[in-house]
């Protein structure tokens, strides 16, 4: 690892990334709270519609017409549909299982991304990264503990979400450098809003004042989280910021305890550590190989 100090801009990016991960855990906690009294699809609707309103405010006076123009409508549609699917699956999981458990299992998504990059992007993954991917899936098994009589079927939902999210991130890679980040954010919330608005009338439950406030909060904080993420990547490269995704586990434990009186057991903590270390090692290997040999050379 380089011995030189981290640049000031990178430090700013890391702080923004840590803040973003805290915001994402708050979003998940609010969603879990709301799904106790409202249908999951209604919560997903709120997440998209009020985030769309936040996006419109952010775009106002900043060349909104230009940012709404896309050269890759098909990829934008696919990415938005995958984001919608990931959110719906994860919010359903939050209804059934503790916050920290769902987030810990979802950590496997970057490892799935590494595996899927081979057939979908033609990237080469060497044996060390394949070993890290395998270790990450073993970490998931430690958390789920199949065959031990304590596994809730909803434990599989974050795994399904991780596959959807990994595919979503692959499409994001395809769009990177071709579309403005705010354009991608706009289409994600717009298409998610259209999809959920077509479904939500069939499941709608009238919320009280507190329910409306939390639904608005869910969307606004969601939009804020993605804005902070964009800002973080404007200050530091993805390879620097990626390991800080795992700080979600740190935030999820106290929030899960304070709001839902849930604490992860030792198996969940152990599995989360295995998955996180596997993911961080994968990121480290990718950065080392690209730095030493260039991105076109096979990783080991």
- For the chain, what percent of residues have pLDDT higher than 90? 24
299 in any annotated domain = no
2 in any annotated domain = no
Stretch 54-73: mean pLDDT = 68
* Residues 142, 130: Cα–Cα separation, whole Å: 19
Q: Does the pLDDT at position 126 exceed 50?
A: yes
298 in any annotated domain = no
Stretch 44-58: mean pLDDT = 85
pLDDT at 62 (0 to 100): 56
81 in any annotated domain = yes
* pTM of the model as a whole: 0.82
185 in any annotated domain = yes
* Residues 92, 278: Cα–Cα separation, whole Å: 26
Using DSSP, state whether 262 is helix, strand or coil: coil
* Residues 66, 53: Cα–Cα separation, whole Å: 18
Least confident stretch, 19-23, 106-110, 197-201: 106-110
Least confident stretch, 114-118, 259-263, 285-289: 285-289
37 in any annotated domain = yes
Confidence of residue 109 (pLDDT cuts 50, 70, 90): confident
Range of the domain at 269: 8-293
90 in any annotated domain = yes
Total number of domains constituting the chain: 1
Asked whether the beta carbons of 231 and 16 are under 8 A apart, the reply is: yes
* Residues 229, 264: Cα–Cα separation, whole Å: 27
286 in any annotated domain = yes
* Residues 257, 262: Cα–Cα separation, whole Å: 5
Token pair, residue 17, equals 């990334």
Stretch 30-53: mean pLDDT = 92
- Could you tell me the end-to-end alpha-carbon distance of the chain, in angstroms, rounded to an integer? 17
């Amino acid at each position: 690892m380089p011995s030189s100090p981290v640049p000031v801009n990178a430090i700013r990016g890391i702080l923004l990334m840590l803040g973003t991960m805290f915001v994402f855990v708050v979003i998940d906690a609010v969603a879990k709270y709301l799904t106790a009294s409202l249908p999951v699809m209604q919560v997903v609707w709120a997440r998209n519609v009020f985030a769309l309103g936040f996006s419109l405010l952010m775009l106002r006076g900043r060349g909104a017409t230009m940012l709404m123009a896309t050269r890759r409508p098909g990829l934008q549609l696919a990415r938005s549909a995958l984001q919608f699917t990931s959110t719906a699956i994860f919010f359903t999981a939050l209804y059934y299982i503790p916050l920290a458990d769902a987030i810990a299992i979802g950590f496997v998504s970057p490892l799935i991304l590494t595996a899927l990059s081979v057939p979908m992007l033609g990237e080469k993954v060497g044996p060390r990264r394949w070993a890290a991917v395998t270790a990450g899936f073993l970490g998931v098994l430690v958390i789920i503990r199949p065959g031990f009589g304590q596994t809730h079927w909803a434990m599989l939902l974050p795994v399904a979400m991780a596959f959807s999210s990994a595919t979503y991130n692959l499409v994001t890679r395809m769009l990177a450098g071709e579309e403005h980040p705010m354009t991608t954010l706009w289409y994600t919330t717009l298409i998610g809003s259209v999809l959920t608005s077509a479904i939500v009338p069939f499941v709608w439950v009238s919320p009280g004042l507190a329910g409306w406030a939390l639904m608005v909060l869910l969307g606004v904080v969601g939009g804020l989280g993605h804005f902070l993420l964009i800002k973080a990547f404007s200050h530091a490269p993805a390879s620097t910021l990626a390991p800080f995704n795992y700080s979600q586990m740190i935030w999820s434990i106290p929030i899960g305890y304070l709001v839902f009186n849930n604490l992860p057991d030792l198996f969940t903590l152990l599995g989360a550590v295995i998955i996180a270390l596997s993911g961080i090692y994968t990121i480290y290997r990718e950065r080392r190989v690209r730095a030493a040999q260039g991105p076109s050379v096979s990783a080991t």
